[in-house]
């Protein structure tokens, strides 16, 4: 395990605004370069799920999946953010993760930083691990917009399934891309952190397996990735 360079695909479910998100549900999958799953886990943040539940009551996805979260609160690990950040940091090192990945990675990293500043008294424990102990940041959304979403097949899929935003742009979110890859337009994301990170792992796996001979991935943080897909149509 120590001799391999592995990938952590993470997802955060948040409260607050898009500009100031705070994590209440954190999940991740660690895979090797052949996408064998080495470790996966999920944590609910105690500060919200036990001590400040009122913040969740105003959250869109929490309300949409109230039953799932009520069951999760009985069975999943509920820890303080300080505990979660230390555990995930240790697992990152233990499993020799050198790529951190997510769909819209910039948002998730911002959510991690905000949550650490709020609950870790400003100590950026997990944020420092990500930036200092790993080598690459890989945004799956950016990869999808550079590869899948620029194809004529994807555009036709969006037309056939009315997958356009209110402004008339083709949708490039993880749910729509997942539906295209697996030709399943009735599929809905669960919007829970572990389930979404598993979906995003499948998207990344598909892109890597279909595009690896064409170009190297673009590492780093990207914003407004959806614009790349619109330019082609």
Residue 88 C-alpha from the chain's centroid: 15
Comma-separated ranges of CATH 3.30.420.10 domains in the chain: 6-139
Q: Would you say the pTM of this structure is higher than 0.85?
A: yes
pLDDT of 39 reads: 97
Q: What is the pLDDT along the chain (233 residues), one digit of tens a residue?
A: 454 689 999 999 999 888 899 999 999 999 999 999 999 999 999 999 887 776 776 677 676 667 677 787 888 899 999 999 999 999 999 999 999 999 999 999 999 999 999 998 878 899 999 999 899 999 999 999 999 999 999 999 999 999 998 888 999 999 999 999 999 988 988 889 999 999 999 999 999 998 765 666 677 777 778 788 786 55
23-61-182 Cα angle (round to 5): 100
Burial 137-151 (b: 16+ CB within 10 A, else e): bbbbbbbbbbbbbbe
Report the candidate in 81, 80, 79 with the shortest Cα–Cα distance to residue 114: 81
Q: Which residues pair with 25 in a beta bridge?
A: 13, 44
Measured CA to CA, the distance from residue 216 to residue 177 in angstroms comes to 20
Angle at which helices 81-94 and 105-119 cross, to 10°:
130
Q: Does domain 6-139 have CATH number 2.40.110.10?
A: no
Q: CB–CB of 140/204 below 8 Å?
A: yes
């Amino acid at each position: 395990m120590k001799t391999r360079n592995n990938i952590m695909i993470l997802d955060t479910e948040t409260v607050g605004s898009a500009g100031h998100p705070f994590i209440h549900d954190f999940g991740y999958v660690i895979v090797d370069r052949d996408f064998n799953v080495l470790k996966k886990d999920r944590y609910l943040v105690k500060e919200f799920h036990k001590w400040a539940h009122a913040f969740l009551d105003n959250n869109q996805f929490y309300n949409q999946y109230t039953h799932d979260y009520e069951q999760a609160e009985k069975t999943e690990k509920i820890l303080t953010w300080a505990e979660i950040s230390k555990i995930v940091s240790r697992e990152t090192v233990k499993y020799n993760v050198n790529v951190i990945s997510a769909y819209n990675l910039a948002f998730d990293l911002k959510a991690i930083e905000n949550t650490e500043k709020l609950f870790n008294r400003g100590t950026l424990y997990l944020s420092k691990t990500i930036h200092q102990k790993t080598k690459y940041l890989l945004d799956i959304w950016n990869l999808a917009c550079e590869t899948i979403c620029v194809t004529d097949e994807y555009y036709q899929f969006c037309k056939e399934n009315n997958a356009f935003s209110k402004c008339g742009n083709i949708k490039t979110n993880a749910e729509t891309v997942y539906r295209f890859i697996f030709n399943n337009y009735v599929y809905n994301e669960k919007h829970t952190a572990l389930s979404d990170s598993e979906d995003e792992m499948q998207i990344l796996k598909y892109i890597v397996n279909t595009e690896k001979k064409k170009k190297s991935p673009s590492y780093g943080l990207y914003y407004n990735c959806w614009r790349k897909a619109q330019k082609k149509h």
